[in-house]
């Protein structure tokens, strides 16, 4: 009962986000990305074409458009995001479980949560500037590894919170029932708690993925000039070249939209799987 309310809430939130934050801007981005000539006061471009797209995807090369091949940046962002999701979830699942289910004294629990929250509690720029200075000393600036570390810090905050709240929304009796019929703590976790929390955990992973794909500030300080993720190229382009910036922005959105669709399907399937016996 509780679970389906939880699922519904997530679905509704995802949908609202989808409609309001994606569709409207997306339309304008799509138009901009194919606009070759678009002067005020026309509502639509006077001339359209895929020149910027071809350029950005590395299919054609021309010096006049001011666009560069962003495929390597895209793949780099995707790779970083996937690694970050894997590492984050590997940490967040046990951490969230411990916070939610183990008998940790309230004070200690508070301290742990605050530690996870701390990087977010201060203005981001000074935090990352500091991090950059630290990373400088140990030679991590300008490395992919350094950027992954930064994304982990950002992603873990959300992931631990979401997984902890997912696990604590599961009544403890479900695991206890498993133990009473003979399951060890580990078995009870893998056979009962984990399957029931899958939607929450997937939501958490998606969140981390999107955060990593989007991450700008930390990557800017720690990654540049050698690690150029997609948001970095977007930043460079956005000042001067709206068409090129729009292409990059859409590229950034594609994995997000795919993920949204996947999670939507997934939540539905989970739901229906339970309904149809």
Partner 1 sequence: MAILKVNNLSKSFGNVKAVQGVNFEAAEGEVLSLLGPSGCGKTTTLRCIAGFENPDVGEIHLDNRKITTIPPEKRGIGMVFQNYALWPHMTVYGNLAFGLQIRKVPKDEITKKIKKVLGMVQLEGYENRYPRQMSGGQQQRIAMARALVFEPEIMLLDEPLSNLDAQLREEMRFEFTELQRKLGITAIYVTHDQAEALVISDKIVILDQGKIVQSGSPKEIYSSPKNKFVAGFIAVTSFIDGRIDSFTEEKKKVIVKTDDGLVIHGFNNSFDIGKKVSVAMRMNVIKFIQDENKSDKNTVNIFKGKIIQSSYLGNIIDYKIKVGNWEVRTKSDAKYNFKVGEEVTFYLSPEDIIVTREE
Find the part of the chain contacting partner 1 (CB under 8 A) among 14-22, 66-74, 184-192, 237-245. Answer: 184-192
Residue nearer to partner 1 on the CB measure, 112 or 194: 194
Q: How far is the CB of 202 from partner 1 (least distance, A)?
A: 14
**Out of 123, 126, 195, 225, the residue judged to bind partner 1 by CB under 8 A:** 195
Binding mask 151-180 for partner 1 (x = CB under 8 A): --------------------x-xx-xxxxx
Q: How far is the CB of 187 from partner 1 (least distance, A)?
A: 7
Q: For residue 147, is the peptide bond before it cis, meaning its omega torsion is within 30 degrees of 0? A: no
Element (H, E) at 217: helix 217-223
Residue nearer to partner 1 on the CB measure, 37 or 191: 191
Does residue 114 touch partner 1 according to CB under 8 A? no
Sign of CA dihedral 162, 165, 169, 170: positive
Find the part of the chain contacting partner 1 (CB under 8 A) among 13-21, 89-97, 109-117, 192-200. Answer: 192-200
Q: How far is CA 108 from CA 93, 99, 120, 158, 163, in A?
A: 18, 10, 19, 19, 18
Element (H, E) at 266: helix 242-275
Contacts 24+ apart (CB under 8 A), 178-185: none
Q: How far is the CB of 46 from partner 1 (least distance, A)?
A: 57
Residue 20 is classified by DSSP as I
Q: How far apart are CA 179 and CA 148, in angstroms?
A: 39
List residues binding partner 1 (CB under 8 A). Answer: 1, 3, 171, 173-174, 176-185, 187, 191-192, 195-196, 274-275, 277
């Amino acid at each position: 009962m509780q679970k389906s309310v939880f699922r519904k809430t997530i679905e509704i939130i995802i949908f609202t986000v989808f409609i309001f934050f994606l569709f409207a801007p997306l339309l304008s981005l799509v138009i901009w990305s194919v606009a070759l000539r678009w002067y005020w006061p026309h509502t639509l471009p006077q001339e359209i074409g895929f020149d910027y797209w071809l350029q950005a995807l590395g299919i054609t090369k021309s010096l006049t458009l001011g666009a560069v091949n962003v495929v390597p940046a895209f793949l780099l962002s995707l790779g970083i995001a996937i690694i970050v999701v894997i590492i984050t979830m590997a940490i967040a699942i046990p951490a969230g479980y411990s916070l939610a289910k183990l008998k940790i004294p309230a004070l200690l629990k508070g301290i742990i949560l605050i530690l996870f929250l701390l990087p977010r509690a201060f203005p981001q720029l000074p935090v990352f500037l500091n991090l950059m200075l630290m990373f400088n000393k140990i030679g991590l600036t300008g490395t992919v590894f350094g950027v992954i570390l930064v994304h982990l810090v950002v992603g873990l905050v959300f992931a631990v919170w979401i997984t902890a709240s997912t696990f604590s929304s599961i009544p403890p009796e479900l695991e206890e029932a498993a133990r009473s019929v003979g399951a060890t703590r580990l078995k009870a976790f893998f056979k009962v708690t984990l399957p029931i929390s899958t939607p929450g955990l997937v939501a958490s992973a998606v969140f981390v993925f999107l955060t990593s794909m989007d991450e700008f500030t930390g990557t800017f300080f720690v990654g540049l000039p050698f690690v150029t993720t997609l948001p970095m190229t977007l930043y460079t382009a956005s000042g001067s070249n709206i068409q090129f910036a729009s292409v990059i922005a859409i590229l950034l959105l594609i994995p997000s939209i795919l993920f949204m669709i996947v999670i939507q399907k997934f939540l539905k399937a989970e739901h229906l799987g339970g309904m149809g016996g």
